[in-house]
């Protein structure tokens, strides 16, 4: 009998039991976008939060995005793309360092973040302001999901692991797939895991299906 795959993410997949890990509450701080040369966007939730503002106030400010998928989503929204990374916040530092330290950046972010790349850049005297546009809380789906024995668990963010562990344990017989190294760091010590080839749900599912 093949193992059941459980996907903890914001998206669903037909070959897995999908559970929303987080529920999002959007915030709307007052922002003077005209003060900035570039935006930093590290999630699609940020793009959703930006819909609360007048589009003409920010849409022409080029954005540095965490991944191609985020960049594509922002481009579809009508935004201008400066560049994009490979899915890891830490790897955005090299793009920021290509610009003069006087460049004015605005990092639009969640209340809780996994990477401290902005703090590192600030310590090196790059000019980056931060605004919190959304807060994430554990969703009921992830907290209450019933998991069969010997599952394959897919985690797509550190918070998806944290929320799962509030009400579950990861059994030693479980196979664990994570979307990247930052997510892997959130796992309890001693848990074996495999990292997907690419930072996408499709890549995670491909790996999970191979483990069945």
- pLDDT tens-digit series, residues 67-79: 999 999 999 999 9
pLDDT at 50 over 80: yes
Alpha-carbon dihedral 62, 64, 69, 74, rounded to 10 degrees: -30
What's the average model confidence in pLDDT over 171-178? 95
In the chain, the number of structural domains is 2
User: Where a domain ends, among 94, 116, 137?
Assistant: 137
Same domain membership, residue 111 and residue 45: yes
**Taken in order 169, 173, 179, 185, is the CA torsion positive or negative?**
positive
Quote the tokens at residue 123: 């310590």
Among 72, 106, 137, give the residue marking a domain's end. 137
Q: How many helices, marked H, and strands, marked E, lie in the chain?
A: 8, 11
- Evaluate if pTM is beyond 0.85: no
112 and 192 assigned to the same domain: no
Give the percent of the chain with pLDDT over 70: 100
The residue behind tokens 């830490």 is 90
Domain extent for 169 = 5-21+139-211
Q: Residues 73-121: pLDDT tens digits?
A: 999 999 999 999 988 888 999 999 999 999 999 999 999 887 889 999 9
Dist CA 75 CA 52 (whole Å) = 17
């Amino acid at each position: 009998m093949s193992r059941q795959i459980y996907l903890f993410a914001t998206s669903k997949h037909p070959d897995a039991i999908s559970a929303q890990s987080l529920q999002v509450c959007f915030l709307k701080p007052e922002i003077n976008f005209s003060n900035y040369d570039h935006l930093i966007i590290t999630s699609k939730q940020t793009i959703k939060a930006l819909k609360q503002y007048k589009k003409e106030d920010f849409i022409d400010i080029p954005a540095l995005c965490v991944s191609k998928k985020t960049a594509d989503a922002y481009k579809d929204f009508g935004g201008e793309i400066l560049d994009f990374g490979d899915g890891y916040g830490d790897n955005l530092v090299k793009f920021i360092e290509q610009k003069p330290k006087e460049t004015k950046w605005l990092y639009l972010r969640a209340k809780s973040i996994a990477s401290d790349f902005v703090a590192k850049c600030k310590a090196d005297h790059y000019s980056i302001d931060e605004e919190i546009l959304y807060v994430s809380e554990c969703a009921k789906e992830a907290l209450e999901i019933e998991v069969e024995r010997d599952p394959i668990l897919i985690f797509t963010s550190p918070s998806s692991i944290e929320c799962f562990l509030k009400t579950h344990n990861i059994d030693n017989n479980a196979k664990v797939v994570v979307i990247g190294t930052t997510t892997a760091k959130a796992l309890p010590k001693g848990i074996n895991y495999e990292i997907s080839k690419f930072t996408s749900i499709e890549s995670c599912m491909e790996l999970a299906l191979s483990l069945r």
